Chain A
Amino acid sequence: MISIDNVSKHYGSFQVLTDCTTQVKKGEVIVVCGPSGSGKSTLIKCVNGLEPFQSGAITVDGISVGDPKTNLSKLRSRVGMVFQHFELFPHMSITDNLSIAQEKVLGRSKDEARAKGLKLLERVGLKAHAEKFPGQLSGGQQQRVAIARALCMDPICMLFDEPTSALDPEMINEVLDVMVELAQEGMTMMCVTHEMGFARKVANRVIFMDKGLIVEDDSKDAFFNNPRSERAQQFLAKILQH
């Protein structure tokens, strides 16, 4: 589904990604973790072309992301993305947030888009808030709406860029519950997250990054039980301490 092949990226002389290679198969859930500044978010943004990269290749469903001839908008409309800061559109009601891209990008009718939006809103448990505005919801609720908004486009895979990092501790679980459910239904997912509980529960593989390099790319059991690199051991020792 997603294939990342020797991808490198630099800002000026600063190397952000170095020769990153990995694959995500259909139905797989991959968790990407690592310290701040290790390039996790940059890597996931390269997958749908939000960040350009200088060398290597990424293909999604057989379509090359880096190829200038690729219709990136069309590709992106098939790849769902959830952001750290939700990024709902503040001037639109929840219903409009859910239906605008369906109408303008997929060409669905207003009624169809609205019905689909409500169905997904119900699925994330927020049907009662359909007519509210994003600013009137809590962070956890906004993030669940953001997931529903991405799902409205019937994506072939989903990218999560630290979806719980900006949330109050009490709201993290409501978002993770939705993500776990999605994973169990067979959605292909690539998640940048530090939620190791989530990784243990649903991930097929864990990728550990440091300084722009993919240091480990292993099954979750191998990663949690015997990480090969010293850097990953240190990282795990620190975040699993408490």
Chain B
Amino acid sequence: MSYQWNWSIFSSPVPTGETTYFGWMLSGLQTTITLSLCAWVMALALGSLMGVLRTVPNKWLSGLAAAYVEVFRNIPLLVQLFIWYFVLPELLPFGLGDAFKQQLNPLTQQFLSAMVCLGFFTSARVCEQVRAGINSLPHGQKNAGLALGFTLPQTYRHVLLPMAFRLVVPPLTSEFLNIFKNSAVCSTIGLLELAAQGRQLVDYTAQPYESFIAVTLLYVLINVVVMTLMRHLENKTRVPGYLGGK
């Protein structure tokens, strides 16, 4: 193989001259992180709410949450992204769609669509995990809370959710990791996140190995940090005398 390795490519300036190729990588990394964190906050909030609703006694509320999950988890992520970015702005009433297309900076349009898409997609998965966490608690816990005079919301707040969230930290860690990896799909609508910057670097320099090795390492780096933080959280919230706690 007559491939010319050239690791110094990262320190060379890009054609426009304002930064180096390494600078492109860093800006892609930054976009990936910002996008994923925003989407994660949204997914966690919505997913927790829906997960709670799936377990409430009211049939209508739990049915609504079940429908929500089925919609967002049964449509491929890529299709959802195209719907949010290309289709939805055409359907929005009161000129909102036109405002979205004409008044917003294209970069902001891409970012918002990507964030909403990843947020809803991941929230359906978070929802199922929160539901599983709540359902895995002994039924008597809810009764014990109610018997003490707590209202149902208070029972969730003080009794069920603190334990349910502790139980689902490991699967939520996987979801948190997934959202970073899934964010690579957003390069398809032109968002210059990490994967897109990698491909752009290949287009400009014809150095695919260096580029994708760097991209791979940066994704691994993000996930190692996330895993470390989540493990720390898991240890910190461990309940003494319960589930491997001391």
Closest 4 CB pairs of A and B: A135-B241, A77-B149, A87-B144, A101-B148
List 12 A-B residue pairs with CB atoms under 8 Å apart, sorted by A's residue number. Answer: A50-B143, A73-B151, A87-B141, A89-B144, A90-B163, A91-B239, A133-B242, A134-B241, A135-B242, A135-B245, A136-B241, A153-B148
Beyond A83-B147, A89-B144, A153-B148, 13 additional contacts (C-beta under 8 Å) are: A77-B148, A84-B140, A85-B140, A87-B140, A87-B144, A91-B163, A104-B150, A106-B149, A132-B241, A135-B241, A135-B245, A150-B148, A153-B149
Which residues of A are interface residues toward B (Cβ below 8 A)?
A: 45, 48, 50, 73-74, 76-81, 83-85, 87-91, 100-101, 104-106, 132-137, 149-150, 153
B133 to chain A minimum Cβ distance, whole angstroms, is 13
Instruction: Provide the residues of chain A in CB contact with B151, threshold 8 Å.
Output: 73
Interface majority SS on B: helix, strand, loop or mixed?
helix
Instruction: Provide the residues of chain A in CB contact with B148, threshold 8 Å.
Output: 76-77, 101, 105, 149-150, 153
Nearest to A84 among chain B residues (CB) is: B140
Range of interface residues on chain B? 20 to 34
State whether A73 and B239 are in contact (beta carbons under 8 Å apart), knowing that A87-B143, A89-B141 are contacts in the complex.
Answer: no
Nearest to B140 among chain A residues (CB) is: A87
Which of A83, A91, A105 is B144 in contact with, Cβ under 8 Å? A83
Type the 1/0 row for B157-169, where 1 means its CB is closer than 8 Å to any CB of A. 0110011001000
Measured CA separation A85–B162 after assembly (Å): 19
Cβ contact within 8 Å between A90 and B150: no
Cβ contact within 8 Å between B140 and A74: no
Measured CA separation A79–B146 after assembly (Å): 11
Measured CA separation A106–B149 after assembly (Å): 9
Measured CA separation A91–B145 after assembly (Å): 13
Does B12 reach chain A (CB closer than 8 Å)?
no
